[in-house]
């Protein structure tokens, strides 16, 4: 369930209706000009989810909003309203020389979870900038395309944003990532070990395969890990593996 971050006066007046997304079109449009960026963002998100095409011109103006979260929601809403050129513009922005623009485009495309962005994201992953790499890896995971497997695996092997790449591989769930994720359990970085542990439990194992047993055995060796974060991720993954149908 979406958590709306409205200011106190709005919460007192509209809390129940906001939680149930029952704000009227007229109310939502008014909030697009609100001084609170979170309110503008929330109103834009709801209009997008409701595909209120009447609001296209007003939402389009928010593409120049000073707050990134509002710009992202505006782009998402416009695409959901049928403005397909926004998707094309976002994919083109992945080649922009300004890394901040690339990161914003990648995060927006990831929120959209549209597999059509995979090829453009893969091209943008050819970077030395870890911030860009992290954003693109996250977006690739959101798109859940197996086409991203080779580059994500290569990124882990070359220690480039390995934690983000592990997380993405888990979301994709392709069992071909098994070996590199098992290797990632041995990384010195606790975030990598933790994300690899979670990713391993999300792989879609073939029926009657012994791969799940291999994963369980590998995870059990990390139960005494020095990192509490790793131990927690391992425990959750083992529970999931042992109790899934």
In the structure encoding, which two tokens stand for residue 31, read together?
């909030």
In the structure encoding, which two tokens stand for residue 86, read together?
């926004």
Chain segment 42-58, per-residue pLDDT in tens: 999 999 988 889 999 99
Helices then strands, each counted (H, E), the chain: 15, 0
pLDDT at 245 over 80: no
In the structure encoding, which two tokens stand for residue 242, read together?
């042992």
d(CA 23, CA 39): 13
| Contact predicate 240/201, CB 8 Å | yes
Q: Which domains does the chain have, with CATH numbers?
A: 174-245 (1.25.10)
| Contact predicate 238/219, CB 8 Å | yes
Predicted pLDDT of residue 67? 93
CA 234 to chain centre: 22
Chain segment 11-40, per-residue pLDDT in tens: 444 444 444 456 788 889 999 999 999 999
Comparing 243 with 181, which gets the higher pLDDT?
181
Chain segment 108-160, per-residue pLDDT in tens: 899 888 889 999 999 999 999 999 999 999 999 999 999 999 999 999 999 99
């Amino acid at each position: 369930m979406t958590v709306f971050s409205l200011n106190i006066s709005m919460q007192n007046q509209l809390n129940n209706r906001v939680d149930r997304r029952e704000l009227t079109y007229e109310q939502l449009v008014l909030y697009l000009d609100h001084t609170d960026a979170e309110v503008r963002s929330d109103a834009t998100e709801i209009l997008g989810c409701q595909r209120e095409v009447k609001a296209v011109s007003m939402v389009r103006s928010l593409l120049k909003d000073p707050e990134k979260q509002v710009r992202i929601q505006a782009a998402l809403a416009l695409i959901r309203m049928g403005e397909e050129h926004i998707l094309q513009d976002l994919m083109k922005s992945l080649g922009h020389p300004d890394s901040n623009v690339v990161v914003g485009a990648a995060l927006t495309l990831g929120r959209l979870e549209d597999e059509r962005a995979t090829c453009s994201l893969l091209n943008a992953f050819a970077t030395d900038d870890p911030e860009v790499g992290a954003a693109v890896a996250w977006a690739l995971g959101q798109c859940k395309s197996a086409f991203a497997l080779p580059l994500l695996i290569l990124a882990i092997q070359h220690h480039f944003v390995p934690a983000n790449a592990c997380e993405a591989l888990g979301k994709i769930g392709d069992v071909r990532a098994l070996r590199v994720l098992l290797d990632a359990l041995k990384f010195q970085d606790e975030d990598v070990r933790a994300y690899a542990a979670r990713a391993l439990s999300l792989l879609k194992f073939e029926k009657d395969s012994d791969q799940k047993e291999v994963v369980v055995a590998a995870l059990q060796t990390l139960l005494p890990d020095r990192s509490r974060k790793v131990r927690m991720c391992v425990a959750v993954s083992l529970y999931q593996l042992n109790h899934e149908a």
